[in-house]
Amino acid sequence: MKLLVTGGAGFIGSAVIRHILQNTQDEVINLDKLTYAGNLESLGQVSNSPRYTFEQVDICNRTEVDRVLAKHRPDAIMHLAAESHVDRSIDGPAEFIETNIVGTYTLLEAARQYWQALDNAERKANFRFHHISTDEVYGDLPHPAETANADEHLFTEQTAYAPSSPYSASKASSDHLVRAWQRTYGLPVLVTNCSNNYGPYHFPEKLVPLMILNALEGKPLPVYGNGDQIRDWLYVEDHARALYKVVTEGKPGETYNIGGHNEKQNIEVVHTICDILQELRPQERSYRDLITNVKDRPGHDRRYAIDASKIQQQLGWAPEETFETGIRKTVQWYLDNLGWCRRVQDGSYQRERLGEGAGA
Ligand code: NAD
């Protein structure tokens, strides 16, 4: 197969490309604009492969997207390119509307034209447009601090959309567009909604790498509010395996929720990171002493948790890492790759607080 992966220089996209090139015989075309979040160094292990090609293209640029499709003639598109950080969406929603909504629309139209023009019936029938989305489109779930039976509530593929942030609203819009292109034009689409990922090559603005890097530099560990927000954590390589399964074995028109069965409060995640660092890089003062509670994110969702039984039953996917094994690997990876962390921050971002909102 020839797979066109958008956003392949980002956190999850690079894991998907590494997975495909290291475990299959497929070819990959990585289409990425290289925003602040995209870094080709994340593909260093595989970029010499003769089965890998890079195209620096903005998904909003229809002419360029058409050129790439005509040149490479992929069998499937895995669409991961997006603006992905909730805090940045609070400070500047415009780019989220542009890339996540207009960009997805542009890609869908280009894909539709390309797919409709395929003259080989088998290639046409087997073509797939796989849209990679988030569980944040569902809004938030009851929290155990407020509801006795909170753990009975999980996001299923039938849960109604109720996004809270400009980021999740833009992703929800793109999900609707993708499904409409299937209903209206018959484009063979797949949608996946996944919970919070963590792992290697994660840009240092996100919770896990931010905490590791700040702790190592003896800087405060900013925890939003009281830190009791719950997320369902999935190791990024488990997500990459799930996505490959969906694009190769999923049924067109279907949605699959992907999650790690690892509900943790943010504060628990931070404590775990501090404790692993204490073991791997012991110091006299506990890393936990660096924890500082800061003003909560506006509109902060309280709890996310995924019911991943559909993908488990229908496609036989289950996560291989527990939170304990995955977070240990992740901390070790950051300790071994501080050079990557320095280079991707590139002077333009110093792990400052983002997204306090207009009322801050
Ligand atoms: P990321 O921010 O690390 O990477 C995004 C990539 O997209 C970057 O390489 C960037 O250069 C590229 N990009 C941005 N705008 C572009 C444009 N206009 N044209 C072409 N390329 C562009 O994001 P991520 O965490 O890897 O997330 C990938 C996808 O998975 C996103 O769609 C996100 O919504 C979804 N998702 C993320 C998580 C998570 O926990 N990180 C969870 C579920 C779903």
pLDDT tens readout for residues 304-348: 999 999 999 999 999 999 999 999 999 999 999 999 999 998 767
- Write down the pLDDT at residue 360: 37
Ordered domains of the chain (ranges, CATH): 2-201+235-261+302-320 (3.40.50.720)
Does the C-beta of 194 come closer than 6 Å to ligand 1?
yes
Which atom of ligand 1 has the smallest separation from the CA of 85?
2
Q: Which of 197-211, 279-293, 341-355 has the lowest mean pLDDT?
A: 341-355
Nearest CA to ligand 1 atom 37: 134
Mean pLDDT, residues 181-185: 98
Instruction: Tell which residue, 140, 170, 166, has the closest CA to residue 155.
Output: 140
Are 54 and 98 spatial neighbours (Cβ–Cβ below 8 Å)?
no
Nearest CA to ligand 1 atom 12: 7
Instruction: Look up tokens 């320095």; give the residue.
Output: 342
Token code pair at residue 43 = 């593909």
With pLDDT > 70 as the criterion, what percentage of the chain qualifies? Answer: 99
Q: At what angle do helices 338-345 and 323-336 cross, to 10 degrees?
A: 70
User: CA-CA distances (angstroms) from residue 38 to 208, 276, 298?
Assistant: 18, 28, 26
Q: How far apart are CA 107 and CA 99, in angstroms?
A: 10
Nearest CA to ligand 1 atom 17: 58
Does the C-beta of 4 come closer than 6 Å to ligand 1?
no
Annotated catalytic residues are 135-136, 167
pLDDT tens readout for residues 8-66: 999 999 999 999 999 999 999 999 999 999 999 999 999 999 999 999 999 999 999 99
Which atom of ligand 1 has the smallest separation from the CA of 58?
19
pLDDT tens readout for residues 123-154: 999 999 999 999 999 999 989 998 889 888 99
Are 156 and 257 spatial neighbours (Cβ–Cβ below 8 Å)?
yes
The pTM for the full model equals 0.97
